[in-house]
Chain A
């Protein structure tokens, strides 16, 4: 079974600074997707960024980028120029051939002035 590990229960970043959230996963599959989801206080899950395992290039979406290290099974999220609206729970997730999402335990991100 696949597992997703987020080792940082909480992180804090100052507004306009950069923060990196860590995620590692375990799988024996070669074809899969990795995701970062944001869950604000409203609890609506919002897709932040997606990475296909077969792509070597790291995905980027505006201020959000990932560092995907397939051999190390690592998938970290970098948020640049942090904004107050970035404060939320962030979940790393894996989707493989079973087409199910497996979530990590989440990282709560605080953004301070």
Chain B
């Protein structure tokens, strides 16, 4: 099946620093990648959608200058949390969808294992 990886799995940083999270599709080309945020015991909230080679589309209420998303290739998207603060601590999950995968454009997304960010 389609595999998506995320790196790092855990990161602890000091307030004010920036953190980059990578999301890779290992065995397929991901034309679209999604970034979610999940608070403890809560559901996944979509932050942004990125299409390869174009700017990300952010959901309402998500600060695009704080959460920088780059989808530079068909297998890699990055999320950079800039000037991180304790309230940015959360679990970040990416997912990817490629052309021709089961279900077509309305079909399945494949999820990465997530990254736990802790900002001290």
Contact = CB atoms under 8 A, between A and B. Distances in A.
Interface residues of B, number: 22
Interface stretch (B19-27, B67-75, B80-88, B107-115): B107-115
Given A44-B113, A45-B111, A99-B32, A32 B46 contact: no
Nearest to A101: B109
Interface in B13-54: 32, 34, 38, 42-46, 49
16 contacts: A31-B106, A33-B103, A33-B107, A42-B113, A43-B93, A47-B108, A95-B106, A99-B32, A100-B46, A101-B44, A101-B46, A101-B95, A102-B46, A103-B45, A104-B43, A106-B42
Interface of B: 32, 34, 38, 42-46, 49, 91, 93, 95, 97, 103, 105-109, 111, 113-114
Given A33-B106, A52-B103, A106-B42, 13 more contacts: A33-B107, A37-B111, A43-B113, A45-B44, A50-B103, A99-B32, A99-B97, A100-B34, A100-B46, A101-B34, A101-B95, A103-B43, A103-B44
